[in-house]
Structure 1
Amino acid sequence: MTKVQEATLPVLLQGQDVLAKSKTGTGKTMAFLLPTVEKIAKANVAKDAISALILSPTRELATQIDVEAKKLTTFHTISTECFVGGTSIELDQKKLKKSIDILVATPGRLQDHLRNNHGNVIEKLKHLQVLILDEADRLLDMGFRRDIEAILDYLPAQRQTILFSATLPESLDAIQRVALKKDHIFIDTVGDQEQTNTHVNQTALICQLQDQIGALYSTLKAHIHANPNQHKIIVFFPTARAAGFMASVFEAAKFPVLEMHSRKSQAYRTRTADTFRQQTKVIMFSSDVSARGVDYPDVSLVVQMGMTDRDQYIHRLGRTGRAGKDGKGMIILSDFEKHFLDELSDMPITHQEFECDAKKNAVDKVLKTIEKNADLKAKATQAYQSFLGFYVSNLKRLNLSKQQLVALGEVYAKATGLQSSPPLQKRTINMMGLENLGLKIQKPQHRR
C-alpha cells in the first residue's frame, strides 16, 4: 500500500469528504477507486442511477481511470463508462440508455450531455453518492472552473466529495467552498519540501538555439547506449507543432519514435498511449497531454525541450521515477532561456554546457533534406510559427524584445533545416503582435 493510500483510505471508507494533496505516480487512482467501489457494492442503489462521477482534466487520464475501474470491478456487477471529447457523442447516448454505476468524464463532454439531457442523464445524477475531482488543480488550469460549477448544480448536496490535487493554488479555494462539506478532511501526503521525486537524477543542458536539436540527439543516443534493452523515453516539447515536426525528423533518422499531441485524434492518441505503455526500447515525442496523471510504467528518461513553468516541470518529471523506481530527467535550454533555472533553484539539478560535435549525425542528414521534402518543410514551417507564438507570450519572463524574438525565430527556422524564416499569413503575424518587425508576409492566393 502506498503512502497516499494509507493516509486516505481509512477516512474515505468512513464516507467523509476529503481534499488530498498528492503527487502523481503515488497510487492515488486506486486510493479513490477502492472506497468508491466498496461504497457502491454495499449501497442500495436506485434504478438507473449513476452512483459515482469522476471528473478528469484530460481524455488520456480519464481513459486510464476507466481501465483501472473496469479491472477493479471485474467480479462485481458494477458498470463503468467513460465519456470524453473527441469520441462519438452518439455512442455516449447509446451507453446512457443502459445502466451506468461509475461514470468517468471530462467536464466539457459531460456538460454537452447535461445541456441536452441525453439519456435522462440529469435524473440519473440526482442519486449520485460519490463525486471525485482528480487532478483538481489541472482541471482549473485548463479552464474548466465554469463547467465544474455548472455540473455541481445538477448534483445532490448529500454526497461524498473527493478532491485530489498535486498543488493547492488559490483558484482551488472557490471549488473547495462549493464542492466540499465544511468539515472535510485535508490530507497532505506531499509536504512543503517534497514537491517532486527527489530520487530522480536531474540535469540541465544549456546550448545555443541552433544546437538544440543536436543536443537532443546526443542525449537520446547516450541514454540508449547506456540502457540498450530497457530504455523508455518521453520528450516534451512546448507546442504540438514542435512535437510533430521533431517526431517526423527523428523517425526519418530511424529512431523508434511515437507521436503524442493535441493535433492527433483521440483514437490515435489512445492507440499510441497503449503502445508506449506496453513496449520497451521506445521514445515518445509529446506535448503536455502526457505531462500529468497518465501512468506509463518504467519510463527511464524524461527530456524537456525549452522552458516551461515550475509546476509543469515537476509534473513532466513525474513521468519517471514512479512507484519508487529510479529515473532521470533532462531539461535542454537554449542560452536565452537559462534564467528559467532560477525558478528551479531549490531543486537538485546539475548544470551542464553542451559541447557540439562537428561530425554530422543521422538527424543532421534528415535536416539537410527539409527543403526538398514537401511534408517535412510544411511541418518545419508550422513549428517555426508555433515557436514565435509560444515565446511571444513569454517575452517578459525572458526579458526579450519582440525584435529579439524575430531574430531568434530566424535562427530557429534555419536550425529546422529551412533556408530562412518562411512567410506567414499577415493575420497570424498581427495576432501575435509582431507586425512591422521584418517578418515575411505570405502573398495572398487569388482565386480564379
Structure 2
Amino acid sequence: MDYNSGSFDLIAHKVTPLLSSLPLHPRLLQTLDDLGLNEPTPIQQQAIPLALEGQDLIASAETGSGKTFAFMLPTLDRLLNTPAPDSGTRVLILVPTRELAHQILKQGEKLIKGTRLQIGLITGGESFKYQRALFRKNPEIIVATPGRLLEHLEQGTPDFQGLEVLILDEADRMLDMGFSDDVLSITGQCNSERQTLLFSATLSHRGLKGIIDTLLRDPAVITLSTVRDRHGSITQQIIPADDKIHKKNLLAWLLQNETYDKALVFTNTKLQADALGPELRKQGLRVGVLHGDMTQDERNQMMGLLRQGTIKTLVATDVAARGLDIKGVDLVINFDMARSGKDYVHRIGRTGRAGEQGLAISLISHQEWNLMTGIERYLKHEFERRLIKEIAGEYRGPKKLKRSGKAAGGKKKTASTTAEKAKNKKAKQRLRDKKNIGKRRQPKDAETAAPREAGHKPLTRKASKPTASD
C-alpha cells in the first residue's frame, strides 16, 4: 500500500442510519440521546464499527467531519465494557496543538458524563506540579501535546505500559510541526499490544508512511475526502490589494459591511496579528488576538470572549487553524495569504462546518499572486474574483498571465546577459593585496641598501604577481 501517494482503497462498510443502531454501551447511547445526536456523519458510520472490532485504523476526512466522536465513542465503549480500576492510563490521545487538546477534552467530558471514567489534559503552559498530581490520580484517558508529555516521560512521571488505545489526531499537522521524533519517543514507551487509531486531514504527507509502518499493525484504511476536495459549503473569493495599507482598509470595510456572526482573520506572523488588533479596535470593531506567544490563560480567555460574543472577530496566526471548533464562524479573511495549500484549507475549514454556509476571502497583493494561483492548482478550484468599488485600488492582478495563471513578464536570462555579467564581475582580490592598495611600493634598491649586520645576508623581496588592483 502506497501511503505516500495518498492512494488508498475505500473501506466499504454497511451504512448505519442511526447512532443508536451501533452496538455501543447503553450509557453512551443515553448520553448521545441527551445531547440530541442521532445521525452519524460519514466518518463515524465507517470508523466506529471497525474500531469497535479492535482493529488498527487509518482514517482521513476533512475538518469538521466529526472525527472526534468517531474515535471517542468506540474507545469509551471499550473502557465501559472492560473495567480496569487498578490500571494506569488506558487511553492516550496525542494532538498537535493546545487548542485541539482543549476541544477534545470538552467533547470527552460530555461523553463520560454519568460514568466513573476520568479524562485529563497535559499541554504546555500549565503547571508541572499540577500535571504530576493529575497522573497520580490515574485518569483512564489522557489528552496531550507531544512536547509536554515527553518532558513528563523523561522525568518518569507517567506509565503507559498498560495502555490499551493510542490515538493520533491530526497526525499530518504533528509532522508539519516537527513532532515526528517526539511521537516515536512517546510511543516507544507505550504497550506494544495496544490498538492504534490514526486520524488525519490528509494521508499524503511525506513522513506519514514511516509513522504508519512503525506504529500500526495491518490497519484498515478509510478515505472519505482529502484536503484538495472543494469545500462545497464555502464561497472562496480573492480581492486584489495595492499594499499593506490598502489591505487594512479592505479588512476594516469587510468587517464593517459583511453580514456574519463571528469572523476569523489570519496573518502569517505574530507581529502582524498584534498590530492589526488595536488598529481595528480604534474603528469600533470588537476584536481579539490569538497567537503562540500568549500564555495558555490568555488564549483560553480570548477563546471564551469569542464564544460568548463579547468579541466578534479574532485576529490569529495559524495556531488557530487547527482544533478550533467555534459555532457561528461564518467569515474567514486571509489578511496574509496562507503559505501553502494545506494551511489554506485548514484556515477556511473553520467556517462552513456541519452543513452551514461560510465565506472565505483572501486579500492578495502583487507579491502574493503566484502563491495564490499555486494554491488554486493545489485545490483544483478557481477562486471567485471580487472588487470593492468603494475602496478599489489600482492593482487588479497581473496584466499578463501564463497558462498556469501566474504573472507573466520580467527579463529572461540569456547567454549574452550572463556573459556580460561575468565580464563585468571584478576579479577576486587577496586580503593582503587589498590592504596594500594606495601604499607606495618600496624600491628594490632601497631594500638592499640597508647596512648588513654581521652574519646576515641582505633582505630581498620577491615581486608579487600583478593583480586586478595593480
- TM-score scaled by length of structure 1: 0.75
Q: Is it true that 1:265 corresponds to 2:295 in the alignment?
A: yes
Say yes or no: does 1:42 pair with 2:81: yes
- Is 2:261 the partner of 1:237? no
Task: From the superposition, tell whether residues 104 and 398 of structure 1 become closer, same or farther in structure 2 (CA, over 3 Å).
Answer: farther
> After the TM superposition, which of the residue ranges 341-350 and 142-151 deviates more from structure 2?
341-350
- Work out whether 1:291 is the aligned partner of 2:321: yes
User: Kindly tell me: are residues 41 and 153 of structure 1, through their superposed partners in 2, closer, same or farther at Cα, counting changes over 3 Å?
Assistant: same
Q: Which moved more, 1:259-268 or 1:49-58?
A: 259-268
1:4 paired to 2:37: no
Supply the distance in 1 between the matched residues of 2:392 and 2:213 (Cα, whole angstroms): 59
Gaps of 5+ in 1: 360-396, 402-448
Q: Does residue 331 of structure 1 match 2:362?
A: yes
Residues 193-272 of structure 1 correspond to what in structure 2 (within 5 A)? 195-209=229-243, 210-223=245-258, 227=259, 230-272=260-302
Equivalent position SS for 1:32: helix
Is 1:174–2:174 an aligned residue pair? Answer: no
After the TM superposition, which residues 7-18 of structure 1 pair with which residues of structure 2 at under 5 Å, given as runs?
A: 7-18=46-57
Q: Which residue of 2 aligns with 1:144?
A: 179
1:245-300 C-alpha deviation (Å, 9 max, x unpaired): 10111112210101111121111101211222232871111111110122111211
SS at match of 1:245: helix
> Structure 2: 5+ residue runs without aligned partners?
1-39, 394-405, 411-470
Aligned twin of 2:344 = 313
* 8 Å Cα contact 1:206/1:354 also seen in 2: no
Aligned to 2:391: 357
Q: Which structure has the larger Rg over C-alpha atoms?
A: 2
Count of residue pairs the alignment pairs up: 353
Inter-partner Cα distance in structure 2 for 1:39 and 1:187:
21
Q: Deviation at 1:354?
A: 5.0
CA deviations 1:205-236 (Å, max 9, x no partner) are 1111131111111221221xxx2xx5210000
Q: C-alpha separation between the residues in 2 aligned to 1:237 and 1:89?
A: 32
Residues 22 and 28 in structure 1, CA contact (< 8 A), matched pair in contact too: yes
- Alpha-carbon distance in 1 for matches of 2:42, 2:302: 31
1:25–1:293 CA contact under 8 A, matched in 2? no
Q: What is residue 154 of structure 2 aligned with on the other side?
A: 115
SS in 2 for 1:36: helix
RMSD in angstroms over aligned alpha carbons?
A: 2.2
Query: What is the distance in 1 between the residues matched to 2:180 and 2:349?
Result: 25
Equivalent pair of 2:165/2:194 in contact (CA under 8 Å): yes
After TM superposition, give the deviation of residue 348 of structure 1 in Å: 4.2
Q: Does 1:82 align with 2:121?
A: yes
- Percent identity, please: 33
Deviation of 1:398 after TM superposition, in Å, equals 10
**Residues 55-70 of structure 1 aligned to structure 2 (within 5 Å):** 55-70=94-109
Paired with 2:127 and 2:281, the residues of 1 have a C-alpha distance of: 31
Conservation of the 8 A alpha-carbon contact between 2:101 and 2:323: no
Tell me: CA distance 1:338–1:252, structure 2 relative to 1, closer, same or farther (3 Å): same
Work out which of the residue numbers 200, 222, 225 in structure 2 matches 1:187.
222
Match of 1:347 among 373, 381, 399: 381
TM-fit CA distance, 1:45: 1.7
Residue 130, structure 1, aligned to residue 165, structure 2: yes
2:200 pairs with 1:165? yes
Cα separation, partners in 2 of 1:196 and 1:93, compared to 1, 3 Å: farther
Q: Are the equivalent residues in 1 in contact too, given 2:267–2:273 (CA < 8 A)?
A: yes
**Distance in 1 between residues matched to 2:354 and 2:234, nearest whole Å:** 12
Give SS of 1:93's match. helix
Change (3 A) 1:139 1:293: same
Distance 1:326 1:348, change over 3 A: farther
State the AA in 1 paired with 2:353: R
Query: CA-to-partner distance for each residue in 1:277-333, whole Å, 9 max, x for gaps?
Result: 232871111111110122111211000112221111111010000001111000111
Stretch moving more, 14-23 or 266-275: 266-275
Normalising by structure 2, what TM-score?
A: 0.72
Q: Does the Cα contact within 8 Å between 2:238 and 2:362 map onto a contact in 1? A: yes
Q: Is the 8 A contact 1:337 1:398 kept in 2?
A: no
Tell me, in whole angstroms, the C-alpha distance in 2 between the residues paired with 1:215 and 1:191: 32
Correspondence 1:21 to 2:56: no
Matches within 5 A, 1:409-420: none
CA contact (8 A) 2:202 2:226 kept: no
C-alpha distance in 1 between matches for 2:270 and 2:90: 37
Secondary structure, counterpart of 1:54 in structure 2:
strand
User: Which is helix-richer, 1 or 2?
Assistant: 1
